[in-house]
Amino acid sequence: MLRALLLENLHPLAASILAAQGIEVTTRTGALDESELIDALDGVHLLGIRSKTHVTDKVVAAAPDLLAIGAYCIGTNQIDLTAAAAHGVAAFNAPFSNTRSVVEIALADIIALTRRLTVLDRAMHDGVWEKSAEGAHEVRGRTLGIIGYGNIGTQLSVLAENLGMSVVFYDTAEKLALGNARRLESLDELLDAADVVTLHVDGRSGNAGLFGADQFARMKPGAVFLNLSRGFVVDYAALRDAILSGHVAGAAVDVFPVEPKRRGDAFESELRGLPNVILTPHTGGSTEEAQEAIGQFVSNKMRDYLGTGTTTLSVNLPNLALDQGTGIQRIAHLHRNTPGVLAAVNATLAEHGVNIEGQLLGTRGEIGYVVTDVNSDVAPDALEALAGMPQTVRLRVLS
């Protein structure tokens, strides 16, 4: 019986897809720390997480039964992908499923901040009728500066233009501009131009500390700032100073360097209580529609990896698109990527009288993946020989 552990309150569809394949599924609402996760993974083959649970090298090394990790979110920086690959554990994420949800909350934040809705709302709840147009603007005609022009940045670009905004963007990689958006050559050039600055960068370590006091000082007086990407890319103490000084007119923040692990836990931040600041608990992609789509996408990827060996869109293994096998058995061989592995696999099969029906090989850095369909059951001594190859990381036989 294969077993799956799904953490962090994933959508029920995630569990039902796996359960329909005869997998025993255990679900938990919160995240686990390293020692808790090691204990929980005893005998577990599939792990599903979101952003709070960190899968370290130590965790992977202590979970010999683990075959795949599903990150039911966009980011994968909470997983040691290199360690997972080295132990033959595939990792999958959902790079597109919650894009629209993040874009919509970004647009809502931009309009709310530009109209100072948070300030007016607070005054009304305090019993004060603060009717004034002071500091409130239309978004039409204003310039949106997008830092990170990936899946979210590009869709935000298109919808912001539909609202009448001018769009400029900066990305370290060459990206095709959509609509009338303009690519700028430097971050400083973007900060000089933008009335609204929004971050949509990924979780690579090089983005740590990307935005600090110098960048806030460079922003146009009265501009607003959004971070719906990663908490560690922004110096929030510097953002607090910029807001209190009035240089930055408002901010929306959805991600933080340290976040509570469980719903209902206490939250602390230097941004609490500031005027015209919207704080949300890492819910940029948390709509019911997005969570359902993510649950379906990632669970399907792990299901297909177990059933056919396909690794399409895996973030740490060579990507092979595989259908159902053409032979009687399928041998999936993950190995260290050194010369001669494919020849050794084929020689071993030939020595044991096994005929090959079809074969695919892919490599990714230090990891290779060869999948072989054969026309007969492979004898145990042949499988033992393949598993005993010095380059072998993990061997699976799929019927």
What's CA 224's distance to the chain center, in Å?
26
Pick the CATH number of 1-97+288-311 from 3.40.718.10, 3.50.50.60, 3.40.50.2020, 3.40.50.720: 3.40.50.720
Mean pLDDT taken over the chain: 95
Instruction: Say if strands 277-279 and 367-374 run parallel, antiparallel, or are unpaired.
Output: unpaired
Instruction: Reduce the DSSP state of residue 145 to 3 states and report it.
Output: strand
Q: List all residues 6 or more positions away from 143 whose beta carbon is below 8 Å from its beta carbon.
A: 165, 166, 167, 168, 193, 194, 195, 196
Residue 223 has pLDDT above 70, yes or no: yes
From residue 187, give the alpha-carbon distance in Å to each of 147, 171, 225, 248, 342.
8, 8, 14, 17, 46
Q: Across-strand partners of 373?
A: 330, 358
Burial environment of residue 357 by CB neighbours within 10 A (0 to 12, 13 to 18, 19 or more): middle
Q: Are 115 and 135 in contact (CB under 8 A)?
A: no
> What is the CATH class of 99-279?
alpha beta
Q: What's the mean pLDDT in 7-23?
A: 96
Return the pLDDT at 334: 98
| pLDDT band at residue 211 under the 50/70/90 scheme | very high
At 32 the pLDDT is 94
- How high is the pLDDT of residue 327? 67
In 3D, which of 24, 41, 103, 31 has the Cα closest to residue 72? 31
| Mean pLDDT across 325-330 | 78
For the stretch 140-175, pLDDT in tens is: 999 999 999 999 999 999 999 999 999 999 999 999
Residue range(s) in the chain whose domain bears CATH number 3.40.50.720 = 1-97+288-311, 99-279
Q: Which amino acid would we find at residue 328?
A: I
Q: What is the reported pLDDT for 325?
A: 66
Residues of the chain with CATH 3.30.70.260: 318-399
CA 372/CA 337 separation, integer angstroms: 17
Residue 124: other Cβ atoms inside 10 A:
11
9 token code pair: 């309150």
Q: Does the active-site annotation cover 282?
A: yes
Of 45, 116, 200, 230, the catalytic one is 230
Whole-number Å distance between alpha carbons of 313 and 321: 9
Which candidate in 116, 240, 282, 333 is catalytic? Answer: 282
Q: Select which of 24, 104, 259, 357 is catalytic.
A: 259
Residue 263 in this model has a pLDDT that exceeds 90: no
For domain 318-399, the CATH class is alpha beta
- CA 9, 14, 20: angle at the middle one, nearest 5? 135
Measured distance CA(79)–CA(188) in Å, rounded: 32
Give the angle 337-80-308 at the CA atoms, nearest 5°. 60
87 a catalytic residue: no
Q: Is the pLDDT of residue 96 over 90?
A: no
Beta-carbon count within 10 A of 103 CB: 24
Please give the pLDDT value at position 323. 86
The residue-averaged pLDDT of 296-325 equals 95
Q: How confident is the model at residue 261 (pLDDT cuts 50, 70, 90)?
A: confident
Q: Identify which has the larger pLDDT, 77 or 222.
A: 222
Active site residue 351: no
